[in-house]
Structure 1
């Protein structure tokens, strides 16, 4: 089998493995929404609506059909790009998501970039001086970053840099396509609040795996032969931990997506987190289901990308 055929076969296998994940995740959410107390038809029709009007609402939205039929119909339409209509605004769910998703992705992207730009150097410095005062101080700071709640740090950032000094906007978001600079200014504080734990996670994981390699007999032999420290760090250190680092980055990206709910609430960012919270509170089930569906697709895309990068950075994975 040629290399190209092998790569396509790998891709198809991973896509087939992702299909049950999509079905399972959406089915669980669909089931949970159905057992929530209350009647969506009554909510839409109003408290003083007649039984006839409520029955019409149920028939209009397909709420009178069996549960599995409702789920199967929704999943079939979702796979064809139709995420139904919002029960509250009658706007296509896909339109709401298309308006909110870029704000969330911008915050997550900046947060992930900050976590890598700050966390990787900290992990390298700590790994090169294991057990030293520098190592202990950096790892203590990293542990503090994990312990600080995102929402608490978000409120501190708003108070210090938005309300008191007016350096950054306190709330809201600007589309990146409209004004890139203002979009980044609005997203920076939420991204910093989101990245605090990520910096710590990257630094600690990189320090742990890199310190083991740098203290190995092979690396000591290279030092004895006069190989430059930078060459040792790059060729024999970072390259050997690249797979572990990719795993940490993928897991971190997925966690950041989930954590945006809290941060977006503090900064009143009209992103995916705010969208799903508002929809859940007002029982707008098509929006909740649509957001979950898109988030699952994003997580699967992140995992597929990570698997592909594994095969690039580590030839052993290809075999």
Structure 2
């Protein structure tokens, strides 16, 4: 099978390219060249260009499938879909479980109502991320119809995750010492290893599947997860503090304190139903493997504390620990 990956050099796209190659498929990466393709991706064809203005570079070529890992704006995705309509058989779009209008609802299925993008010309991703992804899905479906496959992952984690939202915890656990963690009222968390997601997407492409699928991952208890992150550190001491204390001290949810969401507004996403994907062969490796591999990769980066994109800065963590100890004296 010949596959075009839009993106494909940083995180999920990298794992997708590796998985397609392992399964003896021909891979073409279309990306901007800002991140060099890993040396281990031997034999891939690279087309360097910007999807906003260089789609002509894809003319006079053909693929069995395209996997779009980096579509965020509906007009952008529509252009890509229309440009590839005649030279690819199916379009696989990586969307997000954040597409739903009411994210507080538990056990969401693929049929739940998605958010409506009020301004189709917006260039602000943050606030409108879910609605943008939902609008992108519709553009792919308009052009490719039954040849469209929409994947809605939850939090994607594992080696090469440059967002640090998950990586912080295996890395912090490996450092040991006193680790401040939220005492969650609801400790349920969900995430999916990028390698599991990639392998499953490859199988879906091979089988020419279509439709919409959530891929959120197993459900875990946050406290058990943190314990596994410190399993190999004898000097690690977990200090659990109430959510109210973190809020009082202006600790940011999700980014500054990764995986923590105190608000009920988004809690439903950690309960989303991905049984449809599991019935199509989605499987998950052990949490221990994901933690270990992520920690090993993170240690190889050798980042300074101020270079992390998520997680408590060591100085702030130390200050919080001191304040908490004084509070409970």
TM-score normalised by the chain length of structure 1: 0.21
Higher relative contact order (CA 8 A, sep 6+): 1
Bigger Rg, structure 1 or 2: 1
The structure richer in strand per residue is: 2
